[in-house]
Amino acid sequence: MMYDDIANNEENKRPGVIINHPAGDDVYHGVPKDYNGEDVTPKNFLNILQGKKSAMAGIGSGKVIESGPNDNVFVYFTDHGAPGLIAFPSEELHAKDLITALNSMYNAKQYAKLVFYLEACESGSMFKDLSSTINIYATSAANGKESSYACYFDKTLEVYLGDLYSVKWMEDSDTENLGKESLHKQYKIVRTETNLSHVQEFGDMSMTKCKVGDFQGDEAKPLNPLPFAPLNAIPSPEVPMAILYHKLEKASSLEEMQKIRHKIEDMKRLNGNIHKTIETIVSQSVKSEEDADRIMQAETKDITDWNCYKQATTKFSKQCYTLGQHDYAMTLMGVLVNLCEEPIETSIVLQTIDKVCKLETNKV
Protein backbone atom coordinates (compact mmCIF):
# COMPACT_ATOMS: atom_id res chain seq x y z
CA MET A 1 0.00 0.00 0.00
CA MET A 2 1.54 3.28 -1.14
CA TYR A 3 0.11 6.58 -2.33
CA ASP A 4 2.68 6.38 -5.15
CA ASP A 5 3.23 10.07 -5.78
CA ILE A 6 7.04 10.11 -5.74
CA ALA A 7 8.56 8.04 -8.55
CA ASN A 8 6.78 9.79 -11.41
CA ASN A 9 6.30 13.16 -9.76
CA GLU A 10 7.22 16.02 -12.07
CA GLU A 11 9.67 17.28 -9.44
CA ASN A 12 11.54 13.96 -9.28
CA LYS A 13 14.82 14.52 -11.13
CA ARG A 14 15.21 10.77 -11.60
CA PRO A 15 11.81 9.79 -13.06
CA GLY A 16 10.67 6.32 -12.10
CA VAL A 17 13.38 5.93 -9.46
CA ILE A 18 13.25 6.21 -5.66
CA ILE A 19 16.31 5.93 -3.44
CA ASN A 20 16.56 6.08 0.36
CA HIS A 21 20.32 6.70 0.64
CA PRO A 22 22.50 9.08 -1.39
CA ALA A 23 24.50 6.09 -2.68
CA GLY A 24 21.59 3.66 -2.64
CA ASP A 25 19.99 1.67 -5.44
CA ASP A 26 16.47 2.13 -6.74
CA VAL A 27 13.95 0.77 -4.21
CA TYR A 28 10.87 1.38 -6.38
CA HIS A 29 11.16 -0.89 -9.40
CA GLY A 30 9.53 -4.27 -8.88
CA VAL A 31 7.81 -3.38 -5.61
CA PRO A 32 4.19 -4.64 -5.62
CA LYS A 33 1.54 -1.92 -5.54
CA ASP A 34 -1.67 -3.56 -4.43
CA TYR A 35 -3.25 -0.30 -3.37
CA ASN A 36 -2.35 3.26 -4.34
CA GLY A 37 -3.87 6.69 -4.83
CA GLU A 38 -7.40 7.03 -3.49
CA ASP A 39 -7.35 3.43 -2.25
CA VAL A 40 -4.87 4.39 0.49
CA THR A 41 -7.33 5.01 3.33
CA PRO A 42 -7.58 4.06 7.01
CA LYS A 43 -10.67 1.94 6.32
CA ASN A 44 -8.92 -0.08 3.62
CA PHE A 45 -5.75 -0.42 5.72
CA LEU A 46 -7.69 -1.89 8.64
CA ASN A 47 -9.72 -4.18 6.37
CA ILE A 48 -6.53 -5.48 4.73
CA LEU A 49 -4.91 -5.97 8.13
CA GLN A 50 -7.90 -7.91 9.43
CA GLY A 51 -8.23 -10.10 6.34
CA LYS A 52 -11.63 -8.77 5.29
CA LYS A 53 -11.52 -9.95 1.70
CA SER A 54 -15.14 -9.20 0.85
CA ALA A 55 -14.70 -5.61 2.00
CA MET A 56 -11.81 -5.17 -0.45
CA ALA A 57 -13.54 -6.73 -3.46
CA GLY A 58 -13.20 -4.44 -6.47
CA ILE A 59 -10.59 -2.25 -4.76
CA GLY A 60 -6.97 -2.38 -5.94
CA SER A 61 -5.69 -5.95 -6.14
CA GLY A 62 -8.22 -7.07 -3.54
CA LYS A 63 -5.46 -8.75 -1.55
CA VAL A 64 -5.68 -8.92 2.25
CA ILE A 65 -3.55 -10.53 4.96
CA GLU A 66 -4.94 -14.06 5.01
CA SER A 67 -3.01 -15.13 8.08
CA GLY A 68 -3.90 -17.69 10.69
CA PRO A 69 -2.91 -18.85 14.18
CA ASN A 70 0.44 -20.25 13.00
CA ASP A 71 1.57 -17.19 11.04
CA ASN A 72 3.85 -14.34 12.08
CA VAL A 73 2.91 -10.91 10.73
CA PHE A 74 5.15 -7.87 10.18
CA VAL A 75 3.60 -4.42 9.68
CA TYR A 76 5.57 -1.30 8.76
CA PHE A 77 3.79 2.05 8.41
CA THR A 78 5.22 5.48 7.63
CA ASP A 79 3.46 8.81 7.19
CA HIS A 80 2.76 11.98 9.14
CA GLY A 81 1.47 11.82 12.69
CA ALA A 82 0.04 13.82 15.57
CA PRO A 83 -1.04 12.90 19.09
CA GLY A 84 -3.24 9.82 18.88
CA LEU A 85 -3.42 9.66 15.09
CA ILE A 86 -1.49 8.88 11.92
CA ALA A 87 -2.29 10.49 8.59
CA PHE A 88 -3.31 9.00 5.29
CA PRO A 89 -3.48 11.23 2.20
CA SER A 90 -7.03 12.45 2.83
CA GLU A 91 -8.07 10.91 6.18
CA GLU A 92 -6.64 9.89 9.54
CA LEU A 93 -6.37 6.69 11.54
CA HIS A 94 -6.87 7.14 15.26
CA ALA A 95 -5.12 5.12 17.93
CA LYS A 96 -8.33 3.70 19.37
CA ASP A 97 -9.36 2.30 15.99
CA LEU A 98 -5.95 0.75 15.37
CA ILE A 99 -5.90 -0.90 18.80
CA THR A 100 -9.46 -2.18 18.30
CA ALA A 101 -8.42 -3.78 15.00
CA LEU A 102 -5.33 -5.41 16.55
CA ASN A 103 -7.41 -6.77 19.43
CA SER A 104 -9.92 -8.15 16.92
CA MET A 105 -7.12 -9.91 15.03
CA TYR A 106 -5.92 -11.52 18.24
CA ASN A 107 -9.40 -12.68 19.20
CA ALA A 108 -9.93 -14.12 15.73
CA LYS A 109 -6.59 -15.99 15.95
CA GLN A 110 -5.29 -14.25 12.82
CA TYR A 111 -1.62 -14.47 13.82
CA ALA A 112 0.80 -16.28 16.10
CA LYS A 113 2.92 -13.19 16.72
CA LEU A 114 2.75 -9.72 15.18
CA VAL A 115 5.45 -7.01 14.99
CA PHE A 116 4.56 -3.42 14.13
CA TYR A 117 7.13 -0.72 13.24
CA LEU A 118 5.67 2.79 13.04
CA GLU A 119 7.36 5.91 11.62
CA ALA A 120 5.50 9.17 12.32
CA CYS A 121 5.67 12.21 14.54
CA GLU A 122 4.18 11.52 18.00
CA SER A 123 4.00 7.86 16.93
CA GLY A 124 4.42 6.59 20.48
CA SER A 125 0.91 7.85 21.24
CA MET A 126 -0.56 5.20 18.91
CA PHE A 127 0.43 2.28 21.14
CA LYS A 128 -0.25 3.68 24.59
CA ASP A 129 -3.15 1.25 25.08
CA LEU A 130 -1.56 -1.76 23.37
CA SER A 131 -2.01 -4.84 25.54
CA SER A 132 1.03 -6.83 26.60
CA THR A 133 -0.96 -10.08 26.43
CA ILE A 134 -1.97 -10.31 22.74
CA ASN A 135 1.38 -11.39 21.22
CA ILE A 136 2.16 -8.04 19.64
CA TYR A 137 5.44 -6.15 19.86
CA ALA A 138 5.57 -2.59 18.49
CA THR A 139 8.21 0.10 18.19
CA SER A 140 7.78 3.76 17.24
CA ALA A 141 10.06 6.44 15.80
CA ALA A 142 9.26 8.91 18.58
CA ASN A 143 7.47 9.21 21.87
CA GLY A 144 3.94 10.57 22.03
CA LYS A 145 4.90 14.24 22.21
CA GLU A 146 7.75 14.82 19.76
CA SER A 147 8.60 14.87 16.07
CA SER A 148 10.29 12.13 14.17
CA TYR A 149 13.15 13.23 11.89
CA ALA A 150 13.81 13.27 8.16
CA CYS A 151 17.36 12.65 6.95
CA TYR A 152 19.76 12.22 4.02
CA PHE A 153 19.24 15.46 2.15
CA ASP A 154 20.31 14.89 -1.45
CA LYS A 155 21.63 18.06 -3.07
CA THR A 156 21.07 16.77 -6.58
CA LEU A 157 17.52 15.57 -6.08
CA GLU A 158 16.80 18.39 -3.59
CA VAL A 159 14.81 16.15 -1.25
CA TYR A 160 15.22 14.31 2.04
CA LEU A 161 15.52 10.64 1.11
CA GLY A 162 14.44 8.97 4.32
CA ASP A 163 13.32 9.17 7.92
CA LEU A 164 15.88 8.52 10.61
CA TYR A 165 14.16 5.67 12.46
CA SER A 166 13.18 3.91 9.23
CA VAL A 167 16.63 4.35 7.71
CA LYS A 168 18.24 2.88 10.80
CA TRP A 169 16.12 -0.26 11.05
CA MET A 170 16.26 -0.91 7.30
CA GLU A 171 20.03 -0.45 7.09
CA ASP A 172 20.42 -2.74 10.09
CA SER A 173 18.20 -5.38 8.49
CA ASP A 174 20.18 -5.15 5.25
CA THR A 175 23.52 -5.86 6.92
CA GLU A 176 22.66 -8.28 9.75
CA ASN A 177 22.04 -12.01 9.73
CA LEU A 178 18.33 -11.81 10.52
CA GLY A 179 18.19 -15.47 11.42
CA LYS A 180 20.40 -14.66 14.40
CA GLU A 181 19.61 -11.04 15.29
CA SER A 182 16.90 -10.61 17.92
CA LEU A 183 14.19 -7.97 17.92
CA HIS A 184 15.76 -6.65 21.11
CA LYS A 185 19.16 -6.21 19.47
CA GLN A 186 17.64 -4.36 16.52
CA TYR A 187 15.61 -2.16 18.85
CA LYS A 188 18.72 -1.22 20.85
CA ILE A 189 20.66 -0.38 17.67
CA VAL A 190 17.82 1.71 16.23
CA ARG A 191 17.16 3.45 19.55
CA THR A 192 20.84 4.41 19.88
CA GLU A 193 21.30 5.58 16.30
CA THR A 194 17.97 7.42 16.13
CA ASN A 195 19.45 10.00 18.47
CA LEU A 196 17.17 12.98 17.89
CA SER A 197 13.88 11.42 18.98
CA HIS A 198 13.06 8.80 21.59
CA VAL A 199 12.38 5.43 19.96
CA GLN A 200 9.86 3.50 22.05
CA GLU A 201 8.77 -0.12 22.44
CA PHE A 202 5.36 -1.45 23.48
CA GLY A 203 3.39 -4.63 23.99
CA ASP A 204 4.70 -8.10 24.72
CA MET A 205 8.32 -7.69 25.82
CA SER A 206 8.86 -11.47 25.87
CA MET A 207 8.76 -11.31 22.07
CA THR A 208 12.00 -9.31 21.97
CA LYS A 209 13.84 -12.63 22.15
CA CYS A 210 12.39 -13.59 18.77
CA LYS A 211 14.60 -13.30 15.70
CA VAL A 212 14.05 -10.42 13.31
CA GLY A 213 14.02 -12.95 10.49
CA ASP A 214 10.89 -14.57 11.92
CA PHE A 215 9.04 -11.45 10.77
CA GLN A 216 11.11 -9.81 8.04
CA GLY A 217 12.41 -13.02 6.47
CA ASP A 218 15.93 -14.41 6.76
CA GLU A 219 16.68 -15.79 3.30
CA ALA A 220 18.49 -12.74 1.93
CA LYS A 221 22.26 -12.67 2.30
CA PRO A 222 23.50 -9.73 4.41
CA LEU A 223 24.71 -6.82 2.29
CA ASN A 224 27.79 -4.71 2.72
CA PRO A 225 27.07 -1.47 4.61
CA LEU A 226 26.38 1.55 2.44
CA PRO A 227 29.08 4.25 2.42
CA PHE A 228 28.87 6.98 5.02
CA ALA A 229 26.57 9.88 4.19
CA PRO A 230 25.73 12.83 6.46
CA LEU A 231 22.28 12.50 7.94
CA ASN A 232 21.43 16.23 7.96
CA ALA A 233 18.39 15.29 10.02
CA ILE A 234 15.62 17.79 10.73
CA PRO A 235 12.15 17.49 12.33
CA SER A 236 9.80 16.07 9.73
CA PRO A 237 7.31 18.98 9.81
CA GLU A 238 10.12 21.34 8.78
CA VAL A 239 10.92 19.46 5.57
CA PRO A 240 8.78 21.44 3.07
CA MET A 241 10.25 24.78 4.12
CA ALA A 242 13.79 23.40 4.42
CA ILE A 243 13.67 22.08 0.87
CA LEU A 244 12.68 25.51 -0.43
CA TYR A 245 15.60 27.15 1.38
CA HIS A 246 17.98 24.55 -0.05
CA LYS A 247 16.65 25.36 -3.52
CA LEU A 248 17.07 29.06 -2.86
CA GLU A 249 20.75 28.56 -2.00
CA LYS A 250 21.24 26.65 -5.23
CA ALA A 251 19.29 29.01 -7.51
CA SER A 252 21.37 30.22 -10.42
CA SER A 253 19.30 33.15 -11.66
CA LEU A 254 17.44 36.09 -10.23
CA GLU A 255 14.19 34.86 -11.79
CA GLU A 256 14.56 31.43 -10.18
CA MET A 257 15.34 33.02 -6.80
CA GLN A 258 12.23 35.19 -7.02
CA LYS A 259 10.01 32.20 -7.80
CA ILE A 260 11.38 30.29 -4.81
CA ARG A 261 11.03 33.30 -2.51
CA HIS A 262 7.38 33.59 -3.57
CA LYS A 263 6.87 29.92 -2.67
CA ILE A 264 8.51 30.49 0.72
CA GLU A 265 6.27 33.47 1.40
CA ASP A 266 3.21 31.50 0.29
CA MET A 267 4.11 28.69 2.67
CA LYS A 268 4.71 31.10 5.54
CA ARG A 269 1.36 32.76 4.81
CA LEU A 270 -0.40 29.38 4.71
CA ASN A 271 1.17 28.28 8.00
CA GLY A 272 0.19 31.61 9.54
CA ASN A 273 -3.40 31.09 8.39
CA ILE A 274 -3.43 27.59 9.88
CA HIS A 275 -2.13 28.91 13.20
CA LYS A 276 -4.70 31.72 13.20
CA THR A 277 -7.48 29.24 12.50
CA ILE A 278 -6.50 27.13 15.51
CA GLU A 279 -6.23 30.25 17.69
CA THR A 280 -9.70 31.38 16.61
CA ILE A 281 -11.23 27.95 17.27
CA VAL A 282 -9.78 27.94 20.78
CA SER A 283 -10.68 31.54 21.62
CA GLN A 284 -14.28 31.08 20.45
CA SER A 285 -14.68 27.79 22.35
CA VAL A 286 -13.65 29.07 25.79
CA LYS A 287 -14.89 31.83 28.05
CA SER A 288 -11.81 33.99 28.47
CA GLU A 289 -8.70 35.15 26.69
CA GLU A 290 -6.64 33.81 29.59
CA ASP A 291 -8.07 30.31 29.06
CA ALA A 292 -7.36 30.52 25.34
CA ASP A 293 -3.74 31.57 25.91
CA ARG A 294 -3.26 28.79 28.45
CA ILE A 295 -4.60 26.13 26.07
CA MET A 296 -2.50 27.39 23.16
CA GLN A 297 0.73 27.53 25.16
CA ALA A 298 0.43 24.42 27.34
CA GLU A 299 2.31 21.21 26.70
CA THR A 300 0.10 18.62 25.04
CA LYS A 301 -1.91 16.73 27.66
CA ASP A 302 -2.51 12.99 27.67
CA ILE A 303 -5.66 12.17 25.73
CA THR A 304 -8.56 11.01 27.87
CA ASP A 305 -11.51 12.41 25.90
CA TRP A 306 -10.92 10.37 22.75
CA ASN A 307 -14.45 10.97 21.49
CA CYS A 308 -14.03 14.76 21.43
CA TYR A 309 -10.52 14.60 20.01
CA LYS A 310 -11.41 12.21 17.19
CA GLN A 311 -14.45 14.22 16.16
CA ALA A 312 -12.58 17.52 16.41
CA THR A 313 -9.56 16.42 14.36
CA THR A 314 -11.77 14.75 11.76
CA LYS A 315 -13.90 17.86 11.35
CA PHE A 316 -10.83 20.10 11.24
CA SER A 317 -9.25 17.91 8.56
CA LYS A 318 -12.38 17.81 6.44
CA GLN A 319 -13.46 21.42 6.77
CA CYS A 320 -10.31 23.41 7.51
CA TYR A 321 -7.01 21.84 6.39
CA THR A 322 -6.52 18.24 5.35
CA LEU A 323 -4.04 16.97 7.93
CA GLY A 324 -2.25 14.54 5.63
CA GLN A 325 -1.47 17.39 3.24
CA HIS A 326 -0.47 20.09 5.74
CA ASP A 327 2.51 19.25 7.92
CA TYR A 328 2.17 22.41 9.97
CA ALA A 329 -1.46 21.66 10.82
CA MET A 330 -0.37 18.31 12.25
CA THR A 331 1.95 20.09 14.69
CA LEU A 332 -1.01 21.98 16.15
CA MET A 333 -3.27 19.02 16.91
CA GLY A 334 -1.92 18.99 20.46
CA VAL A 335 -3.88 22.21 20.93
CA LEU A 336 -7.08 20.33 20.06
CA VAL A 337 -6.06 17.66 22.59
CA ASN A 338 -5.82 20.39 25.24
CA LEU A 339 -9.11 21.96 24.17
CA CYS A 340 -10.92 18.62 24.39
CA GLU A 341 -9.49 18.04 27.87
CA GLU A 342 -11.18 21.24 29.09
CA PRO A 343 -14.63 21.06 30.74
CA ILE A 344 -16.30 22.01 27.46
CA GLU A 345 -19.08 20.17 25.64
CA THR A 346 -17.83 18.39 22.55
CA SER A 347 -20.70 19.91 20.59
CA ILE A 348 -19.37 23.41 21.31
CA VAL A 349 -15.92 22.51 19.98
CA LEU A 350 -17.39 20.98 16.84
CA GLN A 351 -19.76 23.87 16.22
CA THR A 352 -16.89 26.32 16.60
CA ILE A 353 -14.69 24.46 14.12
CA ASP A 354 -17.60 24.38 11.72
CA LYS A 355 -18.25 28.10 12.09
CA VAL A 356 -14.61 29.23 11.90
CA CYS A 357 -13.77 27.16 8.86
CA LYS A 358 -16.91 28.20 6.99
CA LEU A 359 -16.14 31.87 7.56
CA GLU A 360 -12.53 31.60 6.43
CA THR A 361 -11.78 30.51 2.88
CA ASN A 362 -8.75 28.58 4.05
CA LYS A 363 -9.21 25.11 2.66
CA VAL A 364 -6.18 24.41 0.48
Contact between 161 and 154 (Cβ < 8 Å): yes
To 10 degrees, the CA torsion angle through 41, 45, 47, 51? Answer: 150
Residues 6+ apart with CB under 8 A from 298: 338
Residues 6+ apart with CB under 8 A from 196: 149, 164, 233
Q: Angle at Cα 308 formed by Cα 306 and Cα 313, nearest 5°?
A: 95
Annotation marks residue 80 as catalytic: yes
Query: Which residue of the set 21, 121, 326, 340 is catalytic?
Result: 121
Query: Which residue of the set 80, 151, 320, 326 is catalytic?
Result: 80
Contact between 140 and 124 (Cβ < 8 Å): yes
Whole-angstrom Cα distance, residue 123 to residue 39? 23
Annotation marks residue 121 as catalytic: yes
In 3D, which of 142, 139, 136, 137 has the Cα closest to residue 122? 142
Whole-angstrom Cα distance, residue 333 to residue 300? 9
Burial status of residue 58 (CB atoms within 10 A of its CB: 0-12, 13-18, 19 or more): exposed
Active site residues: 80, 121
